[in-house]
Amino acid sequence: MTSKKIVLHFSKENWNKPIVYRLVKDFNLSFNILKASVLPKQESFMVLELSGPKADFKRGMEYLLQTGIVIEPIEKDIARDDQKCIHCGACTAVCPTGSLYINRKTMEVIFDSSKCSGCELCIKACPPRAMESRLV
């Protein structure tokens, strides 16, 4: 079984195709939409947690590439600039997944990108602007 959080980038031409439906029906994958901004005839994106048997997952990814969807692993979506971070904890108050939390022994903010949903709430909450979105 394979499970990954990914960002799908849609173009002006493929925003209205039944992409996620095909992933479920044709490739036996299950999904959870974590965030989406899909607008008519505009470049759009969707953050998904996608799961399924390894062979089906691979075929599903190949299908997405064939349809012109740009796939980006979620770990590349949100990043922290450790040089800017002052460990104030403001980001931890708004993080819905717990990917940002305070280590109580060191009082440092820890960022676990594997739990990140890409919601970008931390970017708005961060006073020194240490949290960054790396969407293309």
Domain ranges of the chain: 2-75, 78-131
pLDDT digits (tens, 9 = 90+) for 2-56: 888 888 999 988 888 899 999 999 999 999 998 888 888 888 999 898 999 999 9
- Give the predicted TM-score (pTM) of the model: 0.58
Q: Which fold has domain 2-75?
A: Alpha-Beta Plaits (3.30.70)
Residue 40 · residue 81 · CB < 8 Å? no
Q: What is the pLDDT of residues 72-93, one digit of tens each?
A: 877 556 889 999 999 999 999 9
Conformational region of residue 125, where left means phi above 0, alpha means psi within -120 to 50, and beta covers everything else = alpha
Q: Do domains 2-75 and 78-131 have the same CATH topology?
A: yes
**Domain 78-131 indexed as CATH 3.30.70.20:** yes
